Amino acid sequence: MTTHVDTPTDAPEDDRDALWQRLLKEVASLPGLPGVYRYFDAQGDVLYVGKARDLKKRVSSYFHKNHGGTRIGHMVSRIARMETTVVRSEAEALLLENNLIKTLNPRFNILFRDDKSYPYLKLAAHQFPRMAYYRGAVDRKHRYFGPYPNAWAVKETIQLLQKVFLLRTCEDSVYNHRTRPCLLYQIKRCSGPCVGLIGEDDYRRDVARAERFLLGDTDAVLADLQAQMMAHAEALAYEKAAEVRNQISALSRVLHQQTVDTVMDKDVDVLAVKVLGGRACVNLAMVRGGRHLGDRAYFPVHVQDHVVEPDTDAQPVDVVVLEAFLAQHYLDGAVPNVLILSHPVAQGLIEALEVQAGRKVHVVLQPREQRRSWLDMAVKGAELALARLLSEEGSQQARTRALVEALDLAPEAPEGEDPMARLRIECFDISHTAGEATQASCVVYEQHKMQAGQYRRYNITNVTGGDDYAAMKQVLERRYGESGLKAARLPDIVLVDGGKGQVAMAREVFERLGLPIEVIVGVEKGEGRKVGLEELVFADGRPKLQLAPTSAALMLVAQIRDEAHRFAITGMRAKRASVRTGGSKLEDIPGVGPKRRAKLLQRFGGVRGVAAASVDDLASVDGISTELAEEIYRALR
C-alpha cells in the first residue's frame, strides 16, 4: 500500500508552514508497520529513500526534532512531499528500498553504479563443447562459470584450460568447416576434435575434468589423471601415458603457482571498504572454485551527502557504505556461499541476503589464515584504488579551478554545493570524410569529469558536404533551439572546435535565439597547428587568450576538445560503414545491436550475404539464437 501527500511542488515560502502542517498530519496517520518512505523536493526530485521497521516512529523522528544545520536538517528543510509503502517484513523493506534507490537515484542516498555485466567462462552445449568468454544474459542449455571480476581473469582461465585440457575455443562456423588442424593443435593448445583427432568420449572426459577444476575439485582431477596415466602405462601405451603425464605436469605447475590462492573455500566474495577525503571505495575480491580471480573497485556517489537516519545508532560512514553496497549489489543477484567483510553489518541485511539466496550465507568478520590474507589484500587494494582516485580527482578539480580563474567565471550553485563542481561545459565538433556521413558531436563536462551519459550525436542533413560552418549552425540550433534543451540550464561555457569563423557562426545562432554570447569560446589552432599553442577565441569581442602550454586550464580545454573529436570520429565512422554496407537494414531489427551486427557482417561479408543466408546459417553465428535468426531472415526478405 502506497500513500503520499499531494502538496504543490512550487509552493512559495509563505506557504511553508501550511505545507509543514500537511506533512505532520500525514505522518500522524502512518501505521507502526515495516515499510519504505520517500521524500521529494519542490521540483518533484527524490531526496531520500529509507526503510523502517516501524514507519510511524521512523518518519516522525524527521519532523518532530530540530536537526539544525546537519545534512539531515538540510534535507528535511527541502521536503515538499513524501510517499510511503507498507510491506510485510523488514526483509521486504530492504528489497523495496534497494529497488527504489536504483530506480530513483535519490540525492541523499549513497549510490553505486549498477554494473551487473560481469564476464563468465562459457562451455557451450555441443557434441564437442567450446570454451568462450561470455558477457550477458545466461542460457540454461549452456554451462557458465563465474562471475569473474574482469575480462583478463576469464581469458587467463581459458588459456590455462587450453594448456591442461586442450579444449577448443574456435567458433562453430570455423569448427564446422575445418579440413585440417589449426595452429592451436600444433602448439598443443587443442586436441583437434574438428578433424577427428580425438574421440567424443575422450573429449567429454576432458570437458568433465575442466568443469571439476573450475568448481575447485583439483585433487580429484589430479587423482583421475594419475590413474589414467598408470592404466596407459600398464597397457604399454607409453605415448598416451606421456601425454597424460604432460597434463599432470601442466596442472601441477598451475596449482604450485597459485598455492597462495587455493584453499577449501569454493565460492567466496571478500569485501573491504575504505573512506577518505569525502570519497569511499569498496573493493570486491572474488574467489571461484577455490581460486582467487582478482578484484574490482567500486566508488559510490553522494557519500558526503548521506543522511544518518534518526533514532538509530550513528554508524560509521564505512559501515553505511558497505551496507549500501551489499544491498545494491546482491539483493537482486547471485550471492556466494561465504562473504568475508572488513566491517560488521546489520543482521537484518544478512537475513535479507539469505532470503534472496534461499540458503545460509556465512559471514566472516575475523578471518584467519588464508582468508585473512585475502582480506588484507582486499583492504590494501581499496586503499590504493582510493588514493589513485583522489589523486586523479584532485588534478581534475585543479584544472576546473584554473579554467574558471582564466576565464573569470563565477559559476553559481545551491547552498551547500561546490560551485566548481557545478561548472558545465558543452563542446561541439564536426566530423566527416570528404563530406560523406557528416556528424556533429556534443560532449559534456560537469562535476569535474566527462559525463558520457549526456553525450549526443547529431546527423547533419541538407547541407553541402564539407561545409563545417553550416553543420555547426545546424547542430547549435538543434541543441539550443525550441526543440532542444529548452528546459535545461545553459552551459557556463560552449566550446566549439574552431576559430573566428566557427565562433561567428555560433554567435549568429545565439543572437537569433536570444542567448548570451559570452558563453561561446572557440578553440583555435595555434601557429603551425602545434599542440599546446591553441588560442581561445571569444564571441563577445574579448581579445584572444593564449594559455601557457603547461597551464592546467589549457589541459582541461584540450581534454574536452579531444573527447568531442573522438566521439565525433567514432560516430562518423559507424555512420559511413552503415551507408556503405547497408547496415541500417540490420539496425532496424530488434535484438541486433552493434556487436551482433558486426559479427553477421563479418561472417557473411556484408548485408547481401546476410540476406542470402538461411536460418540455420544465421543461427550458427555466435550470439544469434534460432528465434532471432528467423526474425533476421524475415526482415531481410
pTM above 0.85, yes or no: no
User: Is residue 553 located within the same domain as residue 458?
Assistant: yes
* Triad 159, 164, 169: Cα angle to 5°: 45
Confidence of residue 213 (pLDDT cuts 50, 70, 90): confident
pLDDT at 379 over 90: yes
The answer to whether residue 413 is domain-embedded is: no
CATH code: domain of residue 630: 1.10.150.20
**pLDDT of amino acid 304:** 75
Higher pLDDT, 322 or 410: 322
The H or E element that residue 132 is part of is strand 131-134
d(CA 544, CA 555): 17
Domain end call among 387, 404, 435: 387
**Widest distance between CA atoms in the chain:** 98
Does residue 402 form part of some domain?
Answer: no
Q: CB-based burial of residue 285 (10 Å sphere; 0-12 exposed, 13-18 middle, 19+ buried)? A: buried
Q: What pLDDT, in 10s, does the model give residues 330-366?
A: 877 778 889 999 999 988 889 888 888 888 999 999 9
Q: What is the residue type of 487?
A: A
436 pLDDT more than 70: no
558/593 same-domain check: no
The bridge status of strand 362-364 relative to strand 338-341 is: parallel
SS3 417: coil
Are residues 586 and 539 both part of a single domain? no
Cα 225 versus chain centre, distance? 41
Pick 233 or 426 by higher pLDDT.
426
Average pLDDT value for the chain:
82
| Dist CA 511 CA 480 (whole Å) | 12
Give which of 348, 327, 329 is closest to 97, Cα–Cα: 327
**Domain total in the chain:** 5
Do 608 and 537 sit in the same domain of this protein? no
**Do residues 449 and 572 share a domain?**
yes
In a domain, residue 411? The reply is: no
* CATH number, residue 457: 3.30.420.340
Could you tell me if 86 and 55 are in contact, meaning their C-beta atoms sit under 8 angstroms apart? yes
Q: Model confidence over 551-605: pLDDT tens digits?
A: 889 889 989 998 998 888 876 665 555 544 444 467 667 778 777 887 887 777 6
Q: Under 8 Å CB-to-CB from 133, ≥6 apart: which residues?
A: 119, 120, 121, 122, 151, 154, 155, 158
Check whether residue 252 and residue 285 sit in a common domain.
Answer: no
> For residue range 293-323, what is the model confidence (pLDDT) as tens digits?
888 899 988 887 777 777 666 678 889 999 9
> How do beta strands 362-364 and 35-40 pair?
unpaired
Count of CA atoms in the C-beta half-sphere (13 A) of 424: 13
Identify whether the C-beta of residue 455 lies closer than 8 Å to the C-beta of residue 443.
yes
Residue 112 lies in a domain: no
Residue 581 phi, psi dihedral angles, 5° rounding: -105, -5
Q: Distance (Å, rounded) from C-alpha 551 to C-alpha 147?
A: 44
The pLDDT of residue 291 is 76
Residue 20 lies in a domain: yes
DSSP-derived secondary structure letter, 44 = S
Which of these three, 71, 104, 137, is where a domain ends?
Answer: 104
Identity of the amino acid at 41: D
Task: Kindly state whether residues 314 and 362 are assigned to the same domain.
Answer: yes
Is position 405 within any domain?
no
Average pLDDT of the segment spanning 447-473: 86
Question: Which cell is 130 given?
Answer: 567450446
CA 122 to centroid of chain Cα atoms: 21
How many other β-carbons are positioned within 10 Å of the β-carbon of residue 513?
A: 13
Q: By the 8 A CB rule, do 520 and 407 touch?
A: no
- Nearest 5°: phi and psi at 6? -90, 95
CB 630 within 8 A of CB 615: yes
CA distance 375 to 601: 47
Note down the domain range covering 52: 2-104
pLDDT value at 529 more than 70: no
Where is pLDDT greater, at 443 or 220?
Answer: 443
Q: Are residues 452 and 559 in the same domain?
A: yes
Q: Are residues 593 and 570 in the same domain?
A: no
Cα–Cα nearest to 291, from 126, 161, 476, 143: 161
Same domain, 604 and 470: no
- Are 570 and 607 found together in one domain? no
Domain end: 231, 257, 283, which one? 257
Q: Measuring CA to CA, how many Å separate 259 from each of 76, 94, 364, 370? A: 54, 39, 22, 10
In whole angstroms, give the CA distance from residue 430 to residue 408: 28
Say whether both 305 and 424 belong to one domain: no
Closest CA to 428 of 382, 367, 473: 473
Percent of the chain residues past pLDDT 90, beyond the cut? 21
Instruction: Specify the pLDDT at position 36.
Output: 94
Question: What's 33's DSSP letter?
Answer: S
pLDDT at 257: 46
Q: Is residue 115 part of a domain?
A: no
Cis previous bond, 147, omega within 30? yes
For CA atoms 331, 336, 338, 340, give the dihedral sign. negative
Establish if 303 belongs to a structural domain.
yes
What is the rounded (10 degree) CA torsion for 586, 590, 591, 595? Answer: 30
- Cβ atoms of 282 and 297 within 8 Å: the answer is yes
